[in-house]
Structure 1
């Protein structure tokens, strides 16, 4: 009997959960716990980590999980690596639902870097207005350049003091091009720092930066172990043997 585990994170994970529920597949949706008020799901939900590879493997065995779908954020590298190892240890089929990365378009002014520390180093020495669109877990390296006026945007208000002075926007996407243009103009943004998350929901800030002629420091995705990877909910449903049920 099939019992699936969705490791959630990206917006498409919610679309997948809806399709799995519609198909009548027994499944659990797991949140990492980064967001305090996660979106409601049509499946039983668990929140929090598993306790590394061994904890995830124990969960898979205990809950008789037969299929694992890694639909975490492309930068949730530790969880994705743990999933690969835990599924290998338990003999559980694994598939990754991973949206394609963004690619440079005409008019883009990107500075591509390998990690967050390199992104902080790439900022200019002269004071500037910087929009950090990278999530609250990754802002610490920018404390090395406190001269900049930073704008941050989080899903939840920060619980702990920030490592530098910043203007914090609390908002949940998806965001529109007009909205991003308005935000950047009002705040006089000179630089944008973003992770190459891919997908449509977060691309408006990249379009806005192009429209305004702003440089974007683009952080490349981490390298992950080889695994079966698809880019659409339909492909995951086919893998589960329910491709004919999609959208029914």
Structure 2
């Protein structure tokens, strides 16, 4: 068996390290969004596959016999394509998808379907902290002129796509106290995030709740109906049962 681990999440790092420790033949794949990704402990390829045909070619060339998809919960296109192609190729496939966040007492969350819907709630004089990454910034175009602060891990290679936005560089983890200090310093009025789930990045939500900052929560995209687990332990159990 040679497993292809589609990485990009915190769970993927834990899975990769466990597979390496077990001696499981596996290759990790990263999209290349982060310039200095964490060491996974497995042979790692970086970059896309070049579409469906490129993925099929790679599967055959690398002798892949199973795929474990531990990409980001919003990588819906990648997950949908991979699940479909694995079904076509009769290759076992499993999707690792952590549970979404749910509000706790004191949280002020409003769920929206897409980034463009934030305009309904945001006033031009307010300061908005974006925890949504850079790939979907263009979808906030209708907030042009509003102060938008987008936090990135790596320095940007291009300017903010429209007027009023600025980048803030920071590498996680971020403690609750650190997030509260930052939000106070920036005078944040709104926090906008994707419902990625997980403990590591929930600190900004806890900080917002403590400070009384309202949150716009972007809904998760629809995912294919396929074999799915929620935890690292269950993902490893699936691999070991192959």
- Shorter-chain TM range is over 0.9
Q: In the alignment, which residue of structure 2 is the partner of 1:172?
A: 171
8 Å Cα contact 2:160/2:166 also seen in 1: no
Deviation at 1:242, TM superposition (A): 6.5
8 Å Cα contact 1:109/1:213 also seen in 2: yes
Whole-angstrom CA distance in 2 between matches of 1:229 and 1:123 = 35
Structure 1: which 5+ residue stretches go unaligned?
Answer: 244-248
Please tell me whether residue 220 in structure 1 is matched to residue 204 in structure 2: no
Of 128, 150, 153, the residue aligned with 2:151 is 153
C-alpha distance after superposition, 1:78-119 (max 9, x if no partner)? 110111111011111111111110012221111101122223
TM-score computed with the length of structure 2 as normaliser: 0.95
Q: Secondary structure at the match of 1:150?
A: strand
Q: Secondary structure at the match of 1:137?
A: coil
Q: Secondary structure at the match of 1:240?
A: helix
Aligned positions of 1:76-87 closer than 5 A: 76-87=75-86
8 Å Cα contact 2:116/2:142 also seen in 1: no
Structure 2: which 5+ residue stretches go unaligned?
Answer: none
Please tell me whether residue 162 in structure 1 is matched to residue 160 in structure 2: yes
8 Å Cα contact 1:132/1:152 also seen in 2: yes
Taking only aligned residues, the RMSD between alpha carbons, in angstroms, comes to 1.5
Aligned positions of 1:4-83 closer than 5 A: 4-83=3-82
Whole-angstrom CA distance in 2 between matches of 1:21 and 1:218 = 36
Whole-angstrom CA distance in 1 between matches of 2:241 and 2:153 = 33
Whole-angstrom CA distance in 2 between matches of 1:211 and 1:156 = 28
Q: In the alignment, which residue of structure 2 is the partner of 1:194?
A: 193
Whole-angstrom CA distance in 2 between matches of 1:182 and 1:97 = 33
Deviation at 1:166, TM superposition (A): 2.8
8 Å Cα contact 1:191/1:214 also seen in 2: yes
Whole-angstrom CA distance in 1 between matches of 2:85 and 2:60 = 10
8 Å Cα contact 1:57/1:89 also seen in 2: no
Whole-angstrom CA distance in 2 between matches of 1:102 and 1:239 = 24
Query: Stretches of 4+ moved more than 6 A in 1?
Result: none
Q: Secondary structure at the match of 2:28?
A: strand
Whole-angstrom CA distance in 1 between matches of 2:111 and 2:213 = 14
8 Å Cα contact 1:129/1:188 also seen in 2: yes
